[in-house]
Amino acid sequence: MPAPSGPDLPTFEWLGDAALTVRTPRARELYASLRAHPLPGVQEAVPALDLLTLLLDAPTAGEAVQETVAARLATLTAAPGGSGRRVVVPVTFGGPDLDWCAAHAGLDRAAFVAALCAAQLEVAFLGFTPGFAFLTGLPEPLRMPRLDAPRERVPAGSVALGGPWAGVYPRETPGGWRL
């Protein structure tokens, strides 16, 4: 009988004999679980988007760790509460793409602004430029396609939408997201 497969099942990839990468949409939940209840043999857990790399104490811990991680993933029921803090970002709406984004979402300007303000976004990772947080949690209608050609300058403090991500530009840089 073939092994079960599907988009929600984890995949494991060995990085040498003392590191194991777990690829799963529940990587953030697994990371929180491992921080709350560490596994013997795991020296460090390094999170990334939809994956978690486990650095092992010794190569011999590997197979047992993989089995334990698979079992733990099967028992996770809901995302544990984050240990982070809530940040409210004050925003003045009126960017150059606001009306386009509202129309693309099938909303008028006021409804689009209300929907965006109601979205609970969470930092997924940092990148692009120092201090730029990729925010996840945008509802599907608020996900915007990137510009065909990036702007040469996006002012610092601009709120931007690009695909499934939102972000606030920490400094003036080029950028290809909707403002």
101 and 171 both lie in a single domain: yes
Residue 70's domain spans which residues? 11-75
Assess if residue 120 is contained within a domain: yes
Same-domain pairing of 58 and 20: yes
Indicate the average pLDDT of the chain: 87
Q: Which of 22, 43, 75 is the last residue of a domain?
A: 75
Asked if 170 contacts 130 with a C-beta cutoff of 8 angstroms, the reply is: yes
Type of residue found at 21: T
Do residues 103 and 69 share a domain?
Answer: no
pLDDT in the model for residue 58: 74
Q: What is the CA radius of gyration of the chain?
A: 20
49 and 108 housed in the same domain: no
Does residue 3 or residue 65 have the better pLDDT?
65
What is the number of structural domains in the chain? Answer: 2
Residue 4 pLDDT more than 60? Answer: no
Q: Is residue 91 part of a domain?
A: no
Q: Is residue 92 part of a domain?
A: no
Supply the CATH number for residue 155's domain.
2.40.100.10
| Pair (56, 16) in one structural domain | yes
Verify that 66 and 136 share a domain, yes or no.
Answer: no
**3-state class (DSSP) for residue 120:** coil
Q: CA–CA distance from 131 to each of 11, 47, 157, 167 (Å)? A: 31, 18, 11, 10
Q: Do the domain assignments include residue 121? A: yes
Whether 84 maps to a domain, the answer reads no
Query: Which has more confidence, 127 or 161?
Result: 161
pTM: 0.68
Q: Which amino acid is at 167?
A: G
Q: How sure is the predictor about 86, in pLDDT bands with cuts at 50, 70 and 90? A: confident
Indicate whether 88 belongs to any domain. no
Q: Are residues 104 and 135 in the same domain?
A: yes
Q: 130 lies in a domain?
A: yes
Same-domain check for residues 101 and 164: yes
Task: Give the pLDDT band of residue 167 (cuts 50, 70, 90).
Answer: very high
Q: How far apart are CA 16 and CA 48, in angstroms?
A: 19
Residue 89 lies in a domain: no
Q: What CATH number should be reported for the domain holding residue 43?
A: 3.30.1360.40
Q: Verify that 69 and 108 share a domain, yes or no.
A: no
Q: Has residue 126 got a pLDDT over 90?
A: no
Give the total residue count for the chain: 179
